[in-house]
Amino acid sequence: MRIVIQRVSEASVVINKAEVASIQNGLLVLLGVESDDTKEDIDWLCNKIVNLRIFSDENDVMNISLKDCDGDIIVVSQFTLHASTKKGNRPSYIKAAKPDIAIPLYEQFVATLQNTLGKTVQTGEFGADMKVHLVNDGPVTILIDSKNRE
């Protein structure tokens, strides 16, 4: 699994001109699922997201986690995170999981993240054409691949 974490002061997801998710301070997480991803990848990433110390403390030092600051979160599925651009100019998405594998893993990721965080996680809609609006706070943007955890 690959994720892009963006610390935001506000973020929202719009589908067919209707807002389906909206947060103020917190994280926007873009999630790409690969065919060989497992519950172990989900558990590791969810724990990392909730405990990553990327929010500023009283001394303006990134030392506080999402859980510590009671921040909110939106998760958006994004298969293009597994794009291969090694050959030519048209990206290949061969490593991205097909929907029959990706959807259950995406749903399990959201459920695990909710349990780990202890609050509701907002989402986009898997496979939908979404408009994601955000104000990146910092900016702080972090890429994490669960296959590169050692």
* 50 half-sphere exposure, CB direction, 13 A CA radius: 19
116 is catalytic: no
The one catalytic residue in 38, 80, 120, 141 is 80
d(CA 7, CA 28) in angstroms, rounded, equals 7
DSSP characters for 7-24? EEEEEEEEETTEEEEEES
Closest-CA residue to 45 (of 32, 58, 60, 63): 32
- Which residues participate in catalysis according to the annotation? 80
